[in-house]
Structure 1
Amino acid sequence: MLPASAIALGVLAALLAWPVPAALARAAWPRRDPLVALVCWQAIGLAGGLSIIGALLVHGLAPWGHSLPEAWWHWVSRQPAQEAVRGDHWVAQTLAAVLAVELLGVLVLSGVRTARTRRRHRALLELVVRPGVATPAAETLLLDHPAPVAFCIPGVRPLLVLSSGMVDELDGAQVEAVVAHERAHLAEHHHLLLLPFVAWRAALPVLPAADRAHDAVRDLVEMRADDVALRSLSGPDPRRTLAAAIVAVAAGAGGQLPDGALAVTGGAVAVRVRRLLAPAAPLPAAGRWAALTCALALLLLPTLLLVLPALVQL
């Protein structure tokens, strides 16, 4: 049973490494429901990592037993293999260990580096910012800068920073829209949704799907923040207000943002503006449940393939 499981896991890993992410990145429906699409991307990342590591591990331990728990126990207890052990079995074991350590290590390292960078930027900003003036949120901090800039730095003590240039250039409703967008990033912890894909891209830079996944998740996070912001905005046309604010800030901000920050100008600005001004119909309930069911199936399938031989033996 183990060789068949290894083949099935390998096929699943190959699908999740290229065609599935490519299809999801090209699909139009994620723009209609960014939250559901983000769940699907997280499922693809988790299932893909589990599949490739599981395929290598199952193949590497196949000579020691007919199921993964049995083979693992025989291997760690140094019992003799039940079948001939070839070089490819040792190679698969080594690759599984290296890949697992690399993926987890890069994830932890990326998290530590990002947190350190944010703490450093936060410490520097606290020296030059002052309480917001003429902004709708008392906790907003104001940075003396002529260009329209707005960003938030997540963390234990998050900062939401607006530039004086933005407050001067945008009207009150537009400033409120920008602040609502940044608050959405902080409230929903969007930086945590991005972190696994930052690590994936760093760990597997030669894999085109890693770049595609990172860019797609970054865009969806911004669209989700737009949607959450719209719920709290008043006025006759909040969509146009937010779109105008995004365009104004994008035109003047340039690349003047600290590393690790989330900004209203993040993602594909033109796509977001078109989405706000010409919104598509929301994803129907059947479509939402179908996407969530597929995400759940992606998470369960590699797990089932890993434990299926043991279940068959019972």
Structure 2
Amino acid sequence: MRYAVYLPLLFPLLAALAARPLGERLPPRLATWMLSAGALVLAAASTAVLAMLTTTGLLRFPLLARLAHGHWSAQAAQQHDPASLSVALLAGVLLAAAGAMAARMAWRRTRALMHAATEAACLPGHDQLVVVDDPAADAYALPGRPGRIVISTGMLTALNPAEHEVLLAHERAHLAHHHYLFVASAHLAAAANPLLRPVAATVAYTVERWADESAATHTGDRRRVAHTVGKAALAAKRTTGRAWIPAGALGILGRLAPAGPGPIPRRVAALLAPPPHSHTLTVLVLAGLLLASGLCAAEAAHDLEALLELAKHAASRG
């Protein structure tokens, strides 16, 4: 197999380095779509490459060739495959680890979303908005059929009526655009390839920026949205303790360390700046990276097919 087979294993590193700048420069909706879809493509390509490298290692074992009724020649496979046995064995170990971590993440995210949907269905009343008596300032959206928005009395007390409108618009955007699916997809890709973890973290940020921009469009006042985001974060920091929320929930304070500084200052600064515009060159570069990863994986698959044919031909002659 040619050396191009290794490139899909390196491309996720480039994506990890570019993830945060892309999340800042591109409109959040576009950034979310491109980063989450790109993470899945890169994870799939790198996993496929690991599987192909592992296969070349398996072809070298005469025992497996005999179990396959002599369908290939282990000696021919060893002579014509440029990948060493140690590389194939390492690829097998990495493939097993990636598969186990991806399966674990898929189970955890599916269970979290199902639990969040069950929690939404069990909330009192039939309205989308549910107010809970809790002094801790908090607000989040629960996916489900239908999704529900949960706001604590502590958050309502901390914000004025105009800011309540911003808060509701933000949470409704999470439900309307199914942001939890983007987050779950990015985390699944990062589980299969840990190099993509910065991409998953950026997607968690861009969905919040997407909801912020939706709230700004709804209210027509970006400064009010920025003020509300900052005020909600300060209110959550001042309140002692924080109510437990399902892992599948999304809220105005973000999913991770919502009461801490984290990405809140970045979101506020972005709202106080002019709305971001699409950068055609940036989009083309990212699309080119994904295309190159797919082409390299396809080329590796072609080389593997040729190696199999060669090994089968050698076995038939022997």
Same structural fold, with TM-score higher than 0.5 when normalized by the shorter chain? yes
Pairwise CA RMSD of aligned residues?
3.6
> Out of 207, 210, 213, which is 1:224 matched to?
210
The secondary structure found in structure 1 opposite 2:135 is coil
The secondary structure found in structure 2 opposite 1:161 is strand
Match of 1:245 in 2: 228
Contact 1:31/1:220 (8 A) holds in 2: no
| Cα-to-partner distance string for 1:93-149 (whole Å, 9 max, x where unaligned) | 74365145324412421223313442564466x2xx567xxxxxx521111123432
Cα 1:299–1:12, aligned 2, differ >3 Å: closer, same or farther? closer
> Out of 251, 276, 281, which is 2:271 matched to?
276
The secondary structure found in structure 1 opposite 2:149 is strand
Shift, 1:87, TM fit: 4.7
* 29-38 or 260-269: bigger deviation: 29-38
Cα 1:100–1:305, aligned 2, differ >3 Å: closer, same or farther? farther
Match of 1:159 in 2: 148
Residue-pair matches, total: 285
* 270-279 or 150-159: bigger deviation: 150-159
Shift, 1:190, TM fit: 0.8
Aligned residue type for 2:274: P
Cα 1:13–1:116, aligned 2, differ >3 Å: closer, same or farther? same
Aligned residue type for 1:15: F
Match of 2:42 in 1: 48
Aligned residue type for 1:152: A
Ranked by relative contact order (alpha carbons within 8 Å, sequence separation 6 or more), the top structure is 2
| Cα-to-partner distance string for 1:26-68 (whole Å, 9 max, x where unaligned) | x266444122222332244223323332323323334899xxx
CA distance in structure 1 between the aligned counterparts of 2:106 and 2:23, rounded to whole angstroms? 32
CA distance in structure 2 between the aligned counterparts of 1:75 and 1:248, rounded to whole angstroms? 67
Shift, 1:177, TM fit: 0.9
The secondary structure found in structure 2 opposite 1:155 is coil
Alignment pair present for 1:80 and 2:66: no
Shift, 1:183, TM fit: 0.8
Alignment pair present for 1:38 and 2:25: no
Cα 1:174–1:15, aligned 2, differ >3 Å: closer, same or farther? same
CA distance in structure 1 between the aligned counterparts of 2:5 and 2:37, rounded to whole angstroms? 15
Match of 2:138 in 1: 149
Contact 2:169/2:215 (8 A) holds in 1: yes
> Out of 11, 30, 38, which is 1:15 matched to?
11
Cα 1:32–1:80, aligned 2, differ >3 Å: closer, same or farther? closer
Shift, 1:282, TM fit: 1.7
Contact 1:44/1:295 (8 A) holds in 2: no
Shift, 1:92, TM fit: 5.5
Matches within 5 A, 1:183-202: 183-200=172-189
Contact 2:156/2:164 (8 A) holds in 1: yes
5+ residue gaps in structure 1?
66-73, 132-137
Contact 1:167/1:175 (8 A) holds in 2: yes
| Cα-to-partner distance string for 1:138-179 (whole Å, 9 max, x where unaligned) | 521111123432111113332111122333332222111111
% same residue: 22
Aligned residue type for 2:251: A
| Cα-to-partner distance string for 1:200-253 (whole Å, 9 max, x where unaligned) | 55566xx4x44422321111110011112222224xxx1121112112211122
Task: Please give the TM-score of this superposition, normalised by the length of structure 2.
Answer: 0.74
Cα 1:45–1:298, aligned 2, differ >3 Å: closer, same or farther? farther
Match of 2:252 in 1: 264
Task: Please give the TM-score of this superposition, normalised by the length of structure 1.
Answer: 0.75
5+ residue gaps in structure 2?
60-65, 255-261, 308-318
